[in-house]
A and B are shown apart, each in its own frame.
Chain A
């Protein structure tokens, strides 16, 4: 590290155990509340699950993106991304409460509602419980398989230093990203869009993908800063790495805003009942203020902050922006999920906060334990020589 002030000292071991405690406490509190308010628990739990799913799958996607296009930005975070992708089995496990609550969450899963609604009958071929379960198995199967392959190749490369493992990783990257884009688009339809099964939007999958990019880059920037005091990252991570990651974060913030606004403008201008009703609930009463806050903290503030070079280069500052964006991403998940349920007016529950913290505690604990398992840089990577070059730092 060039600059001493950049080091945020943190004890990863303590983080791991504390996170686990917080996670168990949060989920236990939610579980107790779930007895009396089952539906609210599932809503809050779904939003929290989506938040952490975004980061875990996002880690896998960025890992593949790095193998596809290369660059020193990805080299320093490769191990963070790999550790993140190894948490995908945990997310498959965490999906189980949702699967047991499908009838509570999704109107299309309730036969009596389907019988009364012709649109739901039309969609029944796609939106039915067996097919939904099959799709979930398929998505998670593909993600876990991709994550396992990448992690195995990386470990084998660490052991032997044989470059052919990297070649494999690079060859799979493009097909892997296609698999990611398609599965996550349909997962977004299944898990989020079908909460209000009348509504539809073709850009929704892309919006979710861009949101995942924002969340994952934010998370990675924070983790890189936390881990940068440790060997071998210490003395290796430079301002330039944070600068590059900050630029990529900025790009995804802009992309998310672009897709989200284009979708809104098209639906707003069309003003068709099936489409606009989704926005009407989300833009009235307290949700209007919530949406405005999303605009400000998911776009305006981080956009202007990330334009400034001084902020992107100094770890504590960019970590602040990344933290803000993570909160904003949580707010987006709540905004996507909660207004789908009655009452129509603004409503927020303490579990909306507790559930993501609960899931997050357990998730982070697993993440840190995975991160500690391997060296923080792939030391045998041939690119290491190239990245050490001062020439690339221009």
Chain B
């Protein structure tokens, strides 16, 4: 039955959109079966095993690096005064920025009633969670004694000291831990009905029990749905300002201090835009291979990729605005340190990294003005990779240049990372992918019940 017949039968007017975000011909049963089969019935694909194995190898690297760190202390890293923040902070900011797109997709697009969010929100949220986990490792490892991390929290203690609430680093503790917690809650609340689906469809007893416990007894009651939708909407409304605040607080780590190139008021909005920028790049980096490997082109359509590309373009332009405004004000302020830092970034010892970041973040994204390129999947994959690299470079340039050229020229020292810095970064990438591969295998990567809602809207719900 064609879609029009169906709508006529239902006596309802044709709904807008939908067509482009879900391929036609799907029913409640087919979306449920297709998505849940990845977890429940399909054989574990070989490339999954290979991918997981490779990611696990990288985790070995991470474990080695951490073990060595525990034995030797933070001296194994490249950080030396005056550059007390090196890879650890660069990687921290990079990872947490990547997480932000997940929250943006699931919360802000929900509030804006954008249907195209539906098939990518689940794995984007998972991406957020794992990225925050990776991000959280770095400040802890950078402390040198990660087992004392709880000193950061305000609790009555025998030393009779409290955290210093005028410090942005303490704000960071609150921001990142709140972000991690709320992302987890949001993700889990979204998962509940789908885990119930897995519980009801699972064949093996073990799977039934485990998914049964995780589903918390969900049974699709209309009263439950009512409260559930209210809660989900409220969580989205809370997560939206939260995601803005988190990268704002991250930017405060820099702006509250005084080094030239750090202390500038545009950092909060432009860090947020940059975070969304790199996050959407990561979404594309992940979504493009996943939809190809798992045959999910019906659910993650060209529309999703193109819209993500548009957001990349928009946030890329905001970031460009930030660079430009920063440079202009560095001159306009008449502050010689600010102006020196701006010109030194472009011409000094880190000019290679600087121009690479401009090339990746400012120049490359301009290709996305063209619709043909926005619809070209391999091109999008390449450009998303370039932007990931560019945003990492941006944080590197911000952190390292400002510190290595402080106000006292006699203290100027260059920074270079050691092998352990690289090992830790690569290791967290492995950790991220291990989590991600496990997620793909064990939980529905697309929100099934939301797809059913799309089906109901698009097809009038034939079964």
Determine whether the beta carbon of B265 is less than 8 Å from that of A204.
yes
Task: Tell me, rounded to whole Å, the shortest Cβ–Cβ distance linking B359 to chain A.
Answer: 20
Give residues of chain B (1-43) contacting chain A, Cβ–Cβ below 8 Å: 13, 15-16
Interface digits, B244-273 against A, CB 8 Å rule (1 contact, 0 not)? 100010001001101000011111110000
Residue B75 interfacial (CB < 8 Å)? no
- Contact (A201, B265) CB under 8 Å given A266-B255, A270-B256: yes
Bound-state CA distance A254–B16 (Å) is 30
- Which residue of the partner chain, among A198, A203, A269, contacts B268 with CB atoms under 8 Å? A203
Which residues from B are CB-within-8-Å of A182?
321
Residue B332 interfacial (CB < 8 Å)? yes
Determine whether the beta carbon of A258 is less than 8 Å from that of B244.
yes
Determine whether the beta carbon of A386 is less than 8 Å from that of B16.
yes
Determine whether the beta carbon of A270 is less than 8 Å from that of B258.
yes
- Which residue of the partner chain, among A126, A206, A266, contacts B332 with CB atoms under 8 Å? A126
Residue B325 interfacial (CB < 8 Å)? yes
- Which residue of the partner chain, among B268, B325, B332, B333, contacts A262 with CB atoms under 8 Å? B268
Determine whether the beta carbon of A392 is less than 8 Å from that of B265.
no
Bound-state CA distance A267–B252 (Å) is 11
Residue A246 interfacial (CB < 8 Å)? no
Residue A274 interfacial (CB < 8 Å)? yes
Determine whether the beta carbon of B265 is less than 8 Å from that of A122.
no
Determine whether the beta carbon of B265 is less than 8 Å from that of A258.
no
Interface digits, B262-303 against A, CB 8 Å rule (1 contact, 0 not)? 011111110000000000000000000000000000000000
Which residues from A are CB-within-8-Å of B264?
202, 266
Determine whether the beta carbon of A262 is less than 8 Å from that of B269.
yes
Which residues from B are CB-within-8-Å of A258?
244, 248, 268-269
Which residues from B are CB-within-8-Å of A122?
334
A/B interface sample: 30 pairs, CB < 8 A? A118-B334, A122-B334, A123-B332, A126-B332, A182-B321, A185-B325, A200-B329, A200-B332, A200-B333, A202-B264, A202-B266, A202-B322, A202-B325, A204-B265, A258-B269, A259-B268, A259-B269, A262-B268, A262-B269, A265-B252, A266-B267, A269-B255, A270-B258, A272-B258, A272-B263, A274-B333, A274-B335, A389-B16, A391-B16, A392-B16
Which residues from B are CB-within-8-Å of A369?
none
Residue A189 interfacial (CB < 8 Å)? yes
Bound-state CA distance A204–B329 (Å) is 11
Residue B317 interfacial (CB < 8 Å)? yes
Which residues from A are CB-within-8-Å of B265?
201-204, 262-263, 266-267
Q: Chain A: which residue is nearest B317 at the CB level?
A: A178
Residue A119 interfacial (CB < 8 Å)? yes
Which residues from A are CB-within-8-Å of B268?
203, 258-259, 262, 266
Give residues of chain A (145-185) contacting chain B, Cβ–Cβ below 8 Å: 178, 181-182, 185
- Which residue of the partner chain, among A119, A266, A386, A390, contacts B334 with CB atoms under 8 Å? A119
Determine whether the beta carbon of B325 is less than 8 Å from that of A266.
no
- Contact (A389, B332) CB under 8 Å given A185-B325, A272-B258: no
Q: Chain A: which residue is nearest B338 at the CB level?
A: A200
Bound-state CA distance A265–B256 (Å) is 8
- Which residue of the partner chain, among A118, A181, A202, contacts B329 with CB atoms under 8 Å? A202
Residue A358 interfacial (CB < 8 Å)? no
Residue B459 interfacial (CB < 8 Å)? no
Give residues of chain A (181-202) contacting chain B, Cβ–Cβ below 8 Å: 181-182, 185, 189, 198, 200-202
Bound-state CA distance A123–B334 (Å) is 7
Task: Tell me, rounded to whole Å, the shortest Cβ–Cβ distance linking B323 to chain A.
Answer: 10
Bound-state CA distance A254–B267 (Å) is 17
Residue A205 interfacial (CB < 8 Å)? yes
Which residues from B are CB-within-8-Å of A123?
332, 334
Residue B326 interfacial (CB < 8 Å)? yes
Bound-state CA distance A390–B14 (Å) is 11
Which residues from A are CB-within-8-Å of B269?
203, 206, 258-259, 262
Task: Tell me, rounded to whole Å, the shortest Cβ–Cβ distance linking A251 to chain B.
Answer: 9
Bound-state CA distance A265–B249 (Å) is 11
- Contact (A205, B325) CB under 8 Å given A262-B265, A274-B333: yes
Which residues from A are CB-within-8-Å of B13?
389-391
Residue B217 interfacial (CB < 8 Å)? no
Which residues from A are CB-within-8-Å of B16?
386, 389, 391-392
- Size bracket of the B interface: 20 to 34
Determine whether the beta carbon of A266 is less than 8 Å from that of B252.
yes
Task: Tell me, rounded to whole Å, the shortest Cβ–Cβ distance linking A9 to chain B.
Answer: 33
Interface digits, A109-151 against B, CB 8 Å rule (1 contact, 0 not)? 0000000001100110010000000000000000000000000
Residue B348 interfacial (CB < 8 Å)? no
- Which residue of the partner chain, among B256, B321, B329, contacts A266 with CB atoms under 8 Å? B256
Task: Tell me, rounded to whole Å, the shortest Cβ–Cβ distance linking B164 to chain A.
Answer: 13
Task: Tell me, rounded to whole Å, the shortest Cβ–Cβ distance linking B458 to chain A.
Answer: 12
Residue B146 interfacial (CB < 8 Å)? no
Q: Chain A: which residue is nearest B330 at the CB level?
A: A202
Which residues from A are CB-within-8-Å of B335?
274
Task: Kindly list the 10 A-B residue pairs having the minimum CB-CB distance in the complex, ordered from nearest.
Answer: A202-B266, A203-B265, A262-B268, A263-B265, A122-B334, A119-B334, A200-B333, A269-B256, A203-B266, A266-B255
Determine whether the beta carbon of B241 is less than 8 Å from that of A254.
yes
Task: Tell me, rounded to whole Å, the shortest Cβ–Cβ distance linking B373 to chain A.
Answer: 15
Interface digits, A206-229 against B, CB 8 Å rule (1 contact, 0 not)? 100000000000000000000000
- Which residue of the partner chain, among B15, B248, B322, contacts A391 with CB atoms under 8 Å? B15
Give residues of chain B (364-397) contacting chain A, Cβ–Cβ below 8 Å: none
Determine whether the beta carbon of B266 is less than 8 Å from that of A181.
no
Give residues of chain A (47-95) contacting chain B, Cβ–Cβ below 8 Å: none
Give residues of chain B (177-210) contacting chain A, Cβ–Cβ below 8 Å: none
Bound-state CA distance A227–B241 (Å) is 34
Q: Chain A: which residue is nearest B12 at the CB level?
A: A391
Q: Chain A: which residue is nearest B268 at the CB level?
A: A262
Which residues from A are CB-within-8-Å of B15?
391
Task: Tell me, rounded to whole Å, the shortest Cβ–Cβ distance linking A10 to chain B.
Answer: 32
Bound-state CA distance A258–B248 (Å) is 10
Bound-state CA distance A250–B252 (Å) is 25
Bound-state CA distance A206–B244 (Å) is 15
Q: Chain B: which residue is nearest A271 at the CB level?
A: B258
Interface centre among B263, B264, B265, B267 (most CB of A within 10 A): B265
Interface centre among A122, A123, A203, A267 (most CB of B within 10 A): A203
Which residues from B are CB-within-8-Å of A206?
266, 269
- Contact (A266, B333) CB under 8 Å given A182-B321, A203-B269: no
Q: Chain A: which residue is nearest B248 at the CB level?
A: A262
Give residues of chain A (237-273) contacting chain B, Cβ–Cβ below 8 Å: 254, 258-259, 262-263, 265-267, 269-270, 272
Which residues from A are CB-within-8-Å of B258?
270, 272
Give residues of chain A (304-354) contacting chain B, Cβ–Cβ below 8 Å: none
Bound-state CA distance A254–B269 (Å) is 13
Which residues from B are CB-within-8-Å of A119?
334
Bound-state CA distance A269–B254 (Å) is 12
Q: Chain B: which residue is nearest A122 at the CB level?
A: B334
Interface centre among A181, A204, A258, A259 (most CB of B within 10 A): A258
Task: Tell me, rounded to whole Å, the shortest Cβ–Cβ distance linking A163 to chain B.
Answer: 17
Q: Chain B: which residue is nearest A244 at the CB level?
A: B113
Which residues from A are CB-within-8-Å of B252?
265-266
Q: What 9 new A-B contacts, CB under 8 Å, besides A258-B244, A272-B263?
A: A182-B321, A200-B333, A202-B266, A202-B326, A203-B269, A204-B265, A259-B268, A262-B268, A265-B252
Which residues from A are CB-within-8-Å of B332?
123, 126, 189, 200
Q: Chain B: which residue is nearest A247 at the CB level?
A: B111
Task: Tell me, rounded to whole Å, the shortest Cβ–Cβ distance linking A187 to chain B.
Answer: 14
